[in-house]
Structure 1
Amino acid sequence: MTAQLPAPTLLHHMTYVDGVMNASMRFFLQPDDLKQPFRRKTYPNCVVHGWLPLGTERVDPNKPEDLKESFNLTSLNPDIKWSTSVGFRETQAVFFQRCKELSLRILKVIAHSLDVDPDIFLSAHRHIENDENLTTMRSLYYPPVKRELAKEGQLRCGQHSDYGSITLLFQQSQGLQVRGRSGEFILVPCIPGAVLLNIADMMQRWTSDRFVSAVHRVLLPSADDSSPRQSLVFFLMPDDDAVISCLDGSNKYPPVRAGDYFAERFSYLYVNDDLPCRIGSQ
C-alpha cells in the first residue's frame, strides 16, 4: 500500500528538502577516499549506519547489484564521526527528527483507522535514534547510467519491499515504480511538496494484511537521460526487542522479534560483505 501525502508544515518547505539534498549531493560528489572514514560498519554499535559505495547493495537477490550510492543515518549517538562536508551533519540530523515526528503521527492515524490503542505502535518505537532501534534516514544518489554498460536485469534499485513499519520518501525526479494488486508496476509521479508513504513488512504482519507492504523498484533512466537521481527515505522501524504479533489475535503471521527479522533480511542485502549483520542479537 502506498499513498501520496501533502507535506505538512512540519516538514514543508520543499526548499528545506532541497537543502538536505544539496548537502547530501556535496557529500556524494567527494572522492571516495574522503567518504571512506564514514563507511558502513565504522560505527560498531550499529553496522547499518554509514556510507555505502556504488554497487554495495543488492535488494533483489536474483538480480545484479544496485546502481546507487547511499548514506544511512541510523543513530545520533555523540560518538559517531561525521563528515565535514558543508551542511551535511546539520541538515541530516534535523531532517531525521522532523521525519520521526511525522512518522509517529502517522502511526497514530493508522491506529485510529484500526480502532486500536495508538500505544500498541508507539511503545514499539521508543528507541528511535538510539542503538536499540534501526530506524534509518537514507540519502540516496543514483549516478548517471550508460544503459549499454549495465548488466542484464540490473536496475538503479531492484524489486523489494521495505522491512519496517512505514517508509517516507521524498523524490525530485521520476523513476520509482510500485507494484499494484494486479501485479503490474505503476510509475509513481513526482509531485512537488508531496511525501510518498509506503507500508512496510512489519505493518503488514501487525495488521494481518489489512495494510499491505508495497513492492517497488527504481528503473534505469532512458537511453537519452544522462542525469543523476536523488531521493531521501525515512525507514521507520520497531525497536530491536519489540515482538510483532497480529493485532487481530490470529496466527496469520507468527510473532517475531523485530531485531531477528531485520538481521535475516539484511543478511541477503550486502554484496561481498565481510562482516555478518547481527542486529540486536547478543
Structure 2
Amino acid sequence: MSEAAYLPIIDLGAARNGDYAATGALISDAFSKSGFCYIRNHGIPEELIRRTHDEALAFFHAPMEEKLACKPKEAVRGFNALNRTTMYGAKNPDYKEFYQIGLELPPDDPAVLAGQALRGPNQWPAGRPTFRQAMLQYFEAVGVCGQHLLRAVACSLGIAPDFFVSKYDRPLQRTQAIWYPPHPTERQNDQFGVAPHTDYGCVTLLWQDETGGLDVQGVDGQWVSAPPVPGTLVINIGDLLCRWSNQRYNSNMHRVTNLSGKERLSIATFYDPDYDAIVDPCDLNLPDGDASLFPPVSAGDYIIGRIQESQKAKTS
C-alpha cells in the first residue's frame, strides 16, 4: 500500500460547513486502516500557527533557569525538560522538551478541589505575555477543529453527529509545544524524539514544522514516513477511541526520529473527553451481532490509568 493511500489527505472543509457524513466516510476508511490521516481546510489561521511556533521557539531558546521556573505542578502544566518522559517499553527517555497547557480552571473549581488529575490552572513564564496569548488562542482554535472532526467521526460510526458534544463539556484537552533538538550523533540507533507508542486518548491533532521525522507503522510492520504537508494537520486516533469504537478503528504505533541535524518543533493537541465521560462501545452503534469487547469506563480514569501504567513500566 502506498503512503498516499495509507495516510490520505482529507478535506475538512465540508465538515466545517455542516456536511459531516461525507467527511465521515473518508475518515472511516482511514481510521479503520492506519488510524492516521492528514486534514486540510482545518480552520486554524496560518498566521496563528506561525505566531505560536515563533513564540514557542523563543521560549525553548530561553535560558534553562527561566524554563525550569515553569516546571509542572499538580495539573501537569508547564515546561518539561529533556529526558523527563519515557514511553512504555522504551530503552531511553524521549529526547525532547515540551510545554503543556490545558483547560484553564481556577484552584477553587469543583473538579480541582475534587482532585481530578490533569485539572487546574495553567502556569506561564514571567515576562512572556505574547507566548501566553498565542498558546491560548491556538488551544481554542484547535479545539474548534476537534469539535468538527468528532462530528464527522460520529457520522462515520453511524451515530448522530452531536453524540460527542455532551462528552466534551469541559474536555481533558492538552496542547503541547514540543521542541526536538537534533539527536546526539553517538546515540542515533537507540534514541528517539518520541519512542514508538500509541496515544492514550481519543484523537490527536498535530501540526509539524518542515523538518520531518514522524513515522507511522504500516500494515506490514514497516515504518511509513508521515512527512510535513503544507496547510495540513496530522490526525490520529488514540487507544480510548479504539476502545470506544470496539476496535473498528485502529490506534496505531508511531514515533519521531529527528536525524535532520537541526531543531524540530511541533504542536500536538490531545483532544480528549470530560473526565467523567463514560466510554461505552455499546453507545456507538455496534454492528448487528457484535458484542462489546470492553466494559464501560470513565475517560479520565482510563487515561490516568494508562499514564500510571507507563510510569510503572519505566521504573520496573
Report % sequence identity.
28
For residues 105-144 of structure 1, the aligned pairs below 5 Å read 105-128=148-171, 134-144=172-182
Equivalent in the alignment of 2:31: none
For 1:257 and 1:77, locate their aligned partners in 2 and report how far apart those are by CA, in whole Å. 20
For 1:272 and 1:215, locate their aligned partners in 2 and report how far apart those are by CA, in whole Å. 18
Question: 1:35 offset after TM fit, Å?
Answer: 1.5
For residues 26-77 of structure 1, what are the alpha-carbon distances to aligned partners after superposition, in whole Å with 9 as ceiling and x for unaligned? 1111112112221112xx3x2x222110100012333210000001111323
Deviating 4+ runs (over 6 angstroms): 271-274
Contact conserved, 1:7 with 1:195, CA < 8 A, in 2?
A: no
For residues 35-184 of structure 1, the aligned pairs below 5 Å read 35-41=67-73, 44=74, 46=75, 48-77=76-105, 79-83=121-125, 84-85=127-128, 87-128=130-171, 134-148=172-186, 150=187, 153-172=190-209, 173-184=211-222
What SS does the aligned partner of 2:276 have? coil
Pick closer, same or farther for the CA change 1:60–1:273 going to 2, 3 Å: closer
What SS does the aligned partner of 1:127 have? coil
Pick closer, same or farther for the CA change 1:80–1:191 going to 2, 3 Å: closer
> Residue 17 in 1 paired to residue 49 in 2?
yes
What residue identity is the alignment partner of 2:124? Answer: W
What SS does the aligned partner of 1:124 have? helix
What residue identity is the alignment partner of 1:64? Answer: N
For 2:208 and 2:275, locate their aligned partners in 1 and report how far apart those are by CA, in whole Å. 28
Question: 1:152 offset after TM fit, Å?
Answer: 5.8
For residues 123-162 of structure 1, what are the alpha-carbon distances to aligned partners after superposition, in whole Å with 9 as ceiling and x for unaligned? 111113xxxxx310110000122221x2862211101111
Q: Which runs of 5+ in 2 are unaligned?
A: 1-34, 107-120
Greater shift, 53-62 or 185-194, is seen at 53-62
TM-score between the two structures when normalised by the length of structure 1: 0.85
Contact conserved, 1:56 with 1:270, CA < 8 A, in 2?
A: no
> Residue 26 in 1 paired to residue 54 in 2?
no
What SS does the aligned partner of 2:230 have? coil
> Residue 260 in 1 paired to residue 314 in 2?
no
Question: 1:91 offset after TM fit, Å?
Answer: 0.3
What residue identity is the alignment partner of 1:6? Answer: R
Greater shift, 171-180 or 255-264, is seen at 255-264
TM-score between the two structures when normalised by the length of structure 2: 0.76
Contact conserved, 2:78 with 2:122, CA < 8 A, in 1?
A: no
What residue identity is the alignment partner of 1:57? Answer: T
For residues 105-130 of structure 1, what are the alpha-carbon distances to aligned partners after superposition, in whole Å with 9 as ceiling and x for unaligned? 111011112220234322111113xx
Question: 1:208 offset after TM fit, Å?
Answer: 1.2
Question: 1:272 offset after TM fit, Å?
Answer: 12
For 1:164 and 1:208, locate their aligned partners in 2 and report how far apart those are by CA, in whole Å. 14
Pick closer, same or farther for the CA change 1:272–1:63 going to 2, 3 Å: closer
Q: Which runs of 5+ in 1 are unaligned?
A: 129-133, 275-282
